Chain A
Amino acid sequence: MRRFIRLRLLALAVLLTAPYASAQAGQVHFYGWGGSPQVSTYMRWVQQELRAEGIQLRHNKVADIAEVVKQITAGHSNADLIWINGENFHALKAAGALQNIVDDIAAVAALNPQLQWQHDFGEPVTGLEVPWGVGQFNLLARAPVFSEESITAADLLQAAQRFPGRLSYPKPPDFHGTTFLKSLLLALQPEQAQVFQQPVQQVNAAALTAPLWRFLTELHPHLWQQGRSFPASAGEQVNYLAQGQLVMAVSFNPNDYKTLVRTGRLPTGIQRHRFRGGAITNTHYLAIPKGAKNPEMAKQVIEFLLSERAQLRKADPNRWGDPSVLAEAAEPLLPAAQEFHASWQRYLEQQWSARFQ
């Protein structure tokens, strides 16, 4: 009996102390947004494949990659590899916190030449990150909401009037929300597409955005909760679409209208739409911070993630459905519109909250 108790005590001690064991060598710490079960499942496969190559990949899921950016800029991160784009990339680039890796990655040669990855939200990449996947801004809507695949701003307003209280968009500065604003801006003045590539300070932004603010002022009273509150994120909006509070949601994954229905997140009868003038297209990237303890292995991980096998599996709409960045695996994407210059992001967010918050 006493031996039994002693055994149990020993087991308890092992259980309690196990988490304090020091980290294993040869581990690559990968940090990325952890909100998508499809991405997590994909990363589990990646971990399994890499283990065969002797690499222990740790997938550290975070609620918002900005947490990690904050950690890196404060000098407290142990990240070897991060999944970023847009504002988070800008913050890290401005802080000088990223390694120049593009020349060391052989797989870069196999990238789709049509992919405009050299600019991340208008900011030159300058070798600090390599593309991993492609995002194309699209709308998910219940069948009767929009009659055509490509829609205009007027169609949106009409739909809002036909389905009062059933349309909305994620609240800027959520990047889905800000991209929604950009798409509208483009849809309202397709002829100005080139102007939006320039820094906001060099153009007459007030005049260019005036039609957008007029449009939103007209649109908001017809929105969900009369525009007095907005979905916090694209994920939340997808839930509202699933349950029927809303008849429309937004997405950056052009395959979501299939993937989300197949995985039971959305009911059948969801269609994909985009604004006329093209789906705003951007790339999401992998980067290695300067403080990485294991940069060489992290590069091996990038090579694997850019391999044809890994990219094909990623693009499979039965799995993650994130389009490939390789030339070999190029598939028909939505007609693309170029991302705005990075400076528009902040400008639109500020103006939006000054007007509507």
Chain B
Amino acid sequence: MVRALSVVFQLLLIALPVVAGVLYLVWQTARLGVEGVGQAMFVLAAMPSVLLNSLVLAVAAPLVACYLALWMAPSLLRRPRIQQVLAPLLAVPHVAFAVGMLLLFSPSGWLLRVFEQLTGWWPLPPQGWPLPEKSLFSLTLVLVLKELPFLLLMIAAQLKQLPSQAWLVQAQSYGYSQQQAWWRVLVPELLQRLTLPMAAVVIYSVSVVDIPLLLGNNLQPVLAQQVFAWSFQFAPEQQANALVGAWLLLAVSGLLLLLNRRHARCYAFCVRNKPLRPSTKAQKLRPVPRFAWYALAGLAVAVVLVLLVQSLATQWFYPALWPSQLSVSLWQQEWPFILAPAQASLSFALLSALFGTVAAVVVLEQQCQRGKQQRQWLLLVALFMPQVPLVLGWQLLLGSTQGPALWVLWAHTVYTFPYAYLVLHGAYMGFNRHWLVKAQSLGYSARQAWWRVLLPMLKQPLLAAYAVAFAVSIAQYVPTQWLGQGQVSSLTTEAVSVASGGDWRIGSLYALLQMLLPLLVFLGAGGLKRKSYAEHA
């Protein structure tokens, strides 16, 4: 049964969409012919900086985020509830977060307005500010800050599964500080379990388009941004560039995923070769990271606040700290038009997150039963294919099939499933199946044991998977807009089209609405958990 279901899910959610996408790419590339491909390769080869920028972004952002998260994570051991502060950051859509960051830290941002009010040095926004509106650095910084909470959430879910306190105590009994025990005992294990979440982060950094469009330098773009630009230019050679660029993106993603798989082993190797001195002081895990949590929470609050104030401002120009006038008129004006998109978003997200999580559980269970887990990257292919050719491939496959909303739901599930899988994978694979054996020895059937022991014990990671999948569904633009054929507008299709005009007052309004639903789900998922069985164990 599990096996059959797993096969069905993998066919529906991986094979079908990916094959359709790849076939479309192959078909279009074949139409170009050798000469067309050669020319496009020549064009790409002449822009090495594009590839280089992509590599820098996709290597630097995930690594920095990863080690920042590991540095902050010890707080989770002492105060697991601190995880709650992540909810708002996890829920803010990426673009909304980027806009919030611009409003706070760009040369005309709030921070500099405060300086200007205090000193009067910059009647106009300063030039040469280290966080300009468009640069690889600003882009990397925003990605790091947005990926950090996701990785912390993943670490929190893994820590629940590890006897971390016992390990730390044991290490201390050998005379090592908790600090040493954390980096040498827990972190290698965590990194191993973070391989897949890191893969998601890496893939996201390679393929993200909307944030580079907003924050990236556009003379020296990243590859995904350039491919996206080409795919909406209609000259044949630009279309060829877009296609070859899409293949290159696939190759880069594959390469980085290979490197990512070595990451944990590489770290373990380095740690092992670093001489270890038993600590003389009974050094506790340093509380330093605490302020980082507050800073992160503060940042989330600041982003939400600045978006809120922006949506209420009739006008708000540098160097004013506060809009001269606040008004709810924009909210009143948009309110009647919000209900239908909000309902569509909610429906797609609730259902596709549910289907995605269920599918992930089924596939994981089958992998556990079979006892091997090969070709995991196959499950993730949909994530690193550029969306434009992928969705065109789906449309080709679907033809003019009616009932677009159902196809939108399917398309969302194609994305929620791999994310749910990623989030769940470590905890599910790390689950000690002896519990099941014990339960059976106490008279439960295999099925009962699974439902009444395994599921409750994995409640926390399951909820995290659902919440992440929910947020992923909320953020989908291209699949919703194209497969929905204009009959389904969601909060995100509205938000993206509105934002294209650059009027951040109305843009902020839609961004806030867009984050509201995932925020509720993240808070709910965090609030429900209280204690998992592993904490008793």
Contacts and interface: CB of A to CB of B under 8 A. Distances in A.
Given A19-B347, A236-B502, A267-B317, A228 B219 contact: yes
A37 interface: yes
Interface in B118-170: 124-125, 127, 132-135
A21 B405 CA distance: 8
B124 A244 contact: yes
A172 to B, nearest CB: 11
B502 A70 contact: no
A264 B333 CA distance: 16
Interface string B215-238: 001111000000001011111000
Contacts of A77: 485
B317 A165 contact: no
Contacts of A19: 343-344, 347-348, 405, 488
A7 to B, nearest CB: 18
Interface in B56-77: none
B389 to A, nearest CB: 10
Contact of B506 (A37, A44, A245, A356): A37
Contacts of B127: 165
On chain B, which size bracket covers the interface?
Answer: 35 or more
A264 B503 CA distance: 10
Contact of A225 (B132, B314, B318): B132
Contact of B493 (A58, A61, A74): A61
A21 B127 CA distance: 53
A318 interface: no
B326 to A, nearest CB: 12
A236 to B, nearest CB: 5
Interface string A1-30: 000000000000001111111110000010
B501 interface: yes
Contacts of B234: 66, 69, 73, 87-88, 90-91, 94
Contacts of A165: 127
A233 interface: yes
B351 interface: yes
Nearest to B351: A16
Contacts of A116: none
A274 interface: no
A356 B502 contact: no
Contacts, number: 164
A267 B318 CA distance: 10
A35 B500 contact: yes
B174 interface: no
B288 interface: no
Contacts of B409: 20
B318 A36 contact: no
A238 B346 contact: no
A321 B234 CA distance: 30
A243 B310 CA distance: 13
Given A29-B486, A62-B481, A229 B217 contact: yes
Given A35-B497, A35-B501, A356 B219 contact: yes
B107 interface: yes
Interface string B314-343: 110110000000000000010001000001
B183 interface: no
B315 A267 contact: yes
A70 B231 contact: yes
A34 B497 contact: yes
A37 B231 CA distance: 27
A317 interface: no
A74 B28 CA distance: 12
A63 B486 contact: no
Contacts of A235: 500-503
B473 to A, nearest CB: 13
Nearest to A16: B347
A94 B132 CA distance: 41
Nearest to B231: A70
A225 B333 CA distance: 38
A242 B317 CA distance: 6
A315 interface: no
Contacts of A243: 108, 125, 317-318
Contacts of B486: 29, 31, 58, 60, 78-79
Contacts of B504: 239
Q: Looking at B219, B351, B504, B506, which has the most chain A CB atoms within 10 Å of its CB?
A: B219
A309 B497 CA distance: 27
Nearest to B24: A74
B499 interface: yes
Contact of B219 (A31, A79, A236, A357): A357
A167 B481 CA distance: 35
B210 to A, nearest CB: 9
Nearest to B325: A264
Contact of A37 (B219, B487, B501): B501
Interface string B273-304: 00000000000000000000000000000000
Given A61-B494, A76-B395, A15 B218 contact: no
A91 B232 CA distance: 11
Given A31-B486, A90-B234, A63 B496 contact: yes
B403 A244 contact: no
A331 interface: no
A265 interface: yes
Given A74-B392, A165-B127, A264-B315, A346 B235 contact: yes
Interface string A251-275: 0000000000000110100000000
A145 B229 CA distance: 33
Nearest to A165: B127
A63 B132 CA distance: 24
A34 B337 contact: no
A17 B219 contact: no
A64 B219 contact: no
A89 to B, nearest CB: 11
Given A64-B232, A70-B232, A166-B124, A171 B501 contact: no
A34 B318 contact: no
Contacts of A267: 315, 317
A192 interface: no
Interface of A: 15-23, 29, 31, 33-37, 40-41, 44, 58, 60-64, 66-67, 69-71, 73-74, 76-79, 87-88, 90-91, 94, 165-166, 171, 173, 225, 228-230, 232-233, 235-236, 238-240, 242-245, 264-265, 267, 346, 356-357
22 contacts: A15-B346, A19-B344, A20-B409, A33-B500, A35-B497, A35-B500, A35-B501, A60-B489, A61-B494, A61-B497, A70-B232, A70-B388, A91-B234, A228-B217, A229-B134, A233-B500, A239-B502, A243-B125, A245-B107, A245-B133, A264-B505, A267-B315
The 4 closest A-B CB pairs, nearest first, are A35-B501, A235-B502, A34-B497, A264-B315
Given A229-B135, A346-B235, 13 more contacts: A16-B350, A20-B409, A36-B503, A40-B498, A58-B486, A62-B497, A70-B232, A165-B127, A173-B233, A228-B217, A232-B213, A232-B214, A243-B108
